[in-house]
Amino acid sequence: MSLETVPLVEITDIHENSILNKWLLISTPIPVIVILGIYLLTVLKIGPKFMEKREPYNIKGIMMVYNLYQIIYNSYIVGMLLLNREVQRYLIEHSCRPLHYSKNPFNDEFYHASWCYLFSKIVDLLDTFFMVLKKKNSHITFLHLYHHTAMVTGTWISIKYVRAELGVIPGAINSGVHVIMYTYYFLAALGPEVQKYLWWKRYLTKIQIAQFIIIIAFLGYLYLNDCEVSQACNVLWIANVFVIFCLFMNFYIKTYLQRDKSKNYKTFKKG
């Protein structure tokens, strides 16, 4: 298949917009705004108030089904984007210089994957609802809320206004990390007999941090090479991912490095 590079046109192409506007959640920002508004109001106000005088709910079964769903769904996204050799070749050759819509043989794959990715970010919001039901309000940190709301908002903006190629590689990386993350959660939910083998918990955060570094490097490549993508959105994503990276680094330092340092100090004092 010959993939000839042609000048890029804006996403405002009439044919392209007519397709986008037929998709659920895409034609207008109102559904996403309403979803995020309900999300924040529920997890910050309504949910904690509702649970104030109640015992934590036992939702182990629901959590296991949810984790299994996340593993399967995110694996589907990764497979859709990275297992097709023609798609791989296109991404290698044209991530920086996307083909015009009329010349791109993979429009359906990219737009379908983009919508699936947006839906996955919306489903991810359930993580916080489960924390509320289990009365783990201390886990609902600024990092947690910023991460979830920023990913939904940024993904919607990217799908609506930017060529899909910009987000394919970062989206595939992020979905792959989610497969690993929810596999851990699913195994941990099986109980103590399995948990004792899950020595790699702290490495989950390292994997998440590594993905942010790789994604920032890729987006930086698109910027430094003056690639034919929306550089305004590209810079916005670099800034957003960098903020999340800093928050995760802060979490890792406080949760693991400072705890290890304190533990070693106490051991030294006892000795």
> Each residue of 190-230: pLDDT tens digit?
888 888 888 887 788 899 999 999 999 999 999 999 888 88
- pLDDT higher for 108 or 259? 108
Among 65-79, 188-202, 254-268, which stretch is predicted with the lowest mean pLDDT?
254-268
Residue 224: the pLDDT is 93
The pLDDT-based confidence of 97 (bands split at 50, 70, 90) is confident
Report d(CA 169, CA 245) in Å as an integer: 18
Residue 148's nearest CA partner among 160, 169, 131 is 131
Measured at the CA of 243, the angle between CA 239 and CA 246, to 5 degrees, comes to: 135
Residue 46: the pLDDT is 97
Determine contact, residues 61/67, Cβ cutoff 8 Å: no
Report d(CA 156, CA 150) in Å as an integer: 10
Determine contact, residues 219/241, Cβ cutoff 8 Å: yes
Q: What is the DSSP letter of 138?
A: G
Report d(CA 57, CA 191) in Å as an integer: 17
Residue 261: the pLDDT is 54
Q: Does the reported pTM lie above 0.95? A: no
Is residue 270 pLDDT above 60, yes or no? Answer: no
Q: What are phi and psi of 181, to 5 degrees?
A: -65, -50
CA–chain centroid gap for 171, Å, is 7
- Active-site positions? 147
Determine contact, residues 5/94, Cβ cutoff 8 Å: yes
**Residue pLDDT, tens place only, 15-65:** 455 566 778 898 889 999 999 999 999 999 999 999 999 999 999 999 999
